[in-house]
Amino acid sequence: MTDHASTGGAGTPPVACTLTPVGLAARASHWRTVITRAMTDRSQTSDGLRLTFRAGPGTEAELRGLAAAETECCPWASWAVETTGGQLVLTIRAATADGAATLHSMFSGPG
């Protein structure tokens, strides 16, 4: 994950993260850990991403915790975790093209 910032449209929060550099590094590390351990698929959508994870001990709680934390620091995107077909699906959506592009790049690394 990387830090991004751009202006949002009227009534849309700017595409920016409120974490400090240390907080951002810690969050990115947490994402890398869960992605490496459990992610099975990553697909881009027109407005964001759909990430699929193996359900395992603690994975759902970890994803829900990360989604809640991201909602706090990145309110320009919506973060939702669902259980589908025995797997966990994290859907991340942005209201703007800049936001979608930011999401695509945030989760573009290996995983």
Cα angle at 102 between 12 and 8, to 5 degrees? 20
pLDDT at 109: 63
Return the closest-CA partner of residue 27 out of 75, 90, 88, 69: 69
Task: Write the CA distances from 25 to 17, 31, 34, 60, integer angstroms.
Answer: 12, 10, 15, 22
pTM of the entire predicted model: 0.84
C-beta atoms surrounding 102 within 10 Å: 23
65 within domain boundaries: yes
d(CA 94, CA 78): 6
Task: Kindly report, residue by residue over 43-84, the tens digit of the pLDDT.
Answer: 999 999 999 999 999 999 999 999 999 999 999 999 999 999
29 within domain boundaries: no
pLDDT at 1: 46
Task: Kindly report, residue by residue over 28-48, the tens digit of the pLDDT.
Answer: 999 999 999 999 999 999 999
66 within domain boundaries: yes
Domain range enclosing 73: 40-111
11 within domain boundaries: no
